[in-house]
Amino acid sequence: MTARILDGRATATAIKSELADRVKVLTDRGRVPGLATVLVGDDPASHSYVTGKHRDCEQVGISSIRKELPADVSQADLEKVIDELNEDPACTGYIVQLPLPEHINTNAILERVDPAKDADGLHPTNLGRLVLNVNEPMTSPLPCTPAGIVELLERHGVELKGKHVVVVGRGVTVGRPIGLLLTRREINATVTLAHTGTQNLGELLAQADVVVAAAGRPHMIRAEQIKDGAVLLDVGVSRVEDPETGKKKLTGDIDPAAAQKASWLSPNPGGVGPMTRAMLLVNVVESCERAEGILT
Ligand SMILES: Nc1nc(=O)c2c([nH]1)NC[C@@H]1CN(c3ccc(C(=O)N[C@@H](CCC(=O)O)C(=O)O)cc3)C=[N+]21
């Protein structure tokens, strides 16, 4: 068997075209959604991610604001930028690109973001609402990657009800929050959260109907570890040197050979990455709709 592809690019394109219609409704009412990005330092990967987000915005009619700060920016100066965005009516949602430099207190920055403008869904208030299940129906943003994974599976008709999902990775953006979403009653999956300290990962993977690989370890999930017909989502990315060309290339957490055994595969690139970006746009549009009283 060769896995069918969970096509994140095509799905993100479909979501963007739906969003363009909703953006038009807002714009016609005189309210243009605006995404701001805050980028600290000059990491080329972060730059290219942020550029992609601005391109997405343009495609759906969302205006965008780009703030760039030097790598040695002080905590106070970065907080000033956050305060300005919280006040700026042209910015209806924003993200602070992670990771931030070591000298910055990242949690203090994330907490300073106005929860109503939190396009990442990573503000403690919004994560707390996710735990409390109060963001049904949609009273606050969801974290983009978990929401993107659920949307990608739903739009391909992959059933999660009663399934055992093994999540590998405990990061704040994916591993920790995704179980909260997948175990909601309307989705009803069973979730195991594994990480680099898990001793019996092999046993867990052998039982997994769905594997969410989000550890950031190149090709750590191998074909022989997974069940025949498992659904695989390759979320982690690393930049590793290609031994043939000597160039750095993007590598996921799942060994490509595993695709032969899987029923569905979300590839990397082309899977969850574009979905994450699409859900960021969803969060920006919804925060604007909420402010207009269109979404309750
Ligand atoms: N505050 C914050 N929010 C984030 O959402 C956030 C962040 N910080 N820091 C970094 C990670 C990483 N991330 C990606 C999103 C999309 C792709 C993506 O679309 N990738 C394309 C390939 C892009 C390429 O070729 O470079 C794909 O998977 O097909 C990748 C990575 C969001 N992140």
Question: Does residue 118 line the site of ligand 1, with CB under 6 A?
Answer: no
Rg (CA), the chain: 19
Better-scored residue on pLDDT, 279 or 133: 279
225 with 211, same domain: the answer is yes
Residue 6 lies in a domain: no
Question: Does residue 152 line the site of ligand 1, with CB under 6 A?
Answer: no
122 with 38, same domain: the answer is yes
Domain count, the chain: 2
The number of C-alpha atoms within 13 Å of 46 and in the hemisphere containing its C-beta is 19
101 with 154, same domain: the answer is no
Q: What percent of the chain has a predicted confidence (pLDDT) above 70?
A: 98
Can you give the pLDDT at residue 238?
Answer: 92
The answer to whether the predicted template modeling score (pTM) of the entire model surpasses 0.90 is yes
Q: Using the atom order of ligand 1, give the atom closest to the CA of residue 122.
A: 1
ipTM of the complex: 0.96
Binding-site residue ranges for NADP(+): 169-171, 237
**Boundaries of domain holding 161:** 144-269
Note the pLDDT tens digit of each residue in 113-123: 999 999 999 99
Among 233, 116, 216, 225, residue whose Cα is nearest residue 172: 216
User: Which active-site residues does the annotation give?
Assistant: 53, 97, 120
Note the pLDDT tens digit of each residue in 251-295: 999 999 998 999 999 999 999 999 999 999 999 999 999 999 887
CATH of the domain at 57: 3.40.50.10860
